[in-house]
Amino acid sequence: RVPGLTRLRRVPGSTRLRRVPGSTRLRRVPGSTRLRRVPGSTRLRRVPGSTRLRRVPGSTRLRRVPGLTRLRRVPGLTRLRRVRLSRRRLLYYFYLFKFMLIHNSN
């Protein structure tokens, strides 16, 4: 392990990991698999007690184009740079979408 990296400790009775105090925060290496948020893209926040996502105010609006998996800009908004999704994430969204379709059909 590289010295000075973030140390995480398992918190008993919780699935979360806690940062060990005194350890530095990890710098995300550019070009890594994690996605960095595109500035000005729509931010969604989970609403507690609801399955819906709420748009965070101040974030740009995106319009879903039917038949397209990509989001198209509403005219007059800042341009959205395409975020490359990792294959695993894409699969996850795909299955989620299929699942939703199956459950919303009745």
Domain ranges of the chain: 5-104
First to last CA, the chain: 52
Residue 94's pLDDT is what? Answer: 85
> Could you tell me how far CA 10 lies from the centroid of its own chain?
23
- Only one residue has tokens 């000075």, namely 4
pLDDT band at 79 (very low <50, low <70, confident <90, very high): very low
Instruction: Evaluate if residue 91 carries a pLDDT over 60.
Output: yes
Q: Is 31 helix (H, G, I), strand (E, B) or coil?
A: coil
pTM: 0.20
For the record, the structure tokens of 33 come out as 């698999």
Residue 20's pLDDT is what? Answer: 55
Say which residues have a Cβ less than 8 Å from residue 53's Cβ, sequence separation at least 6.
44, 45, 46, 47
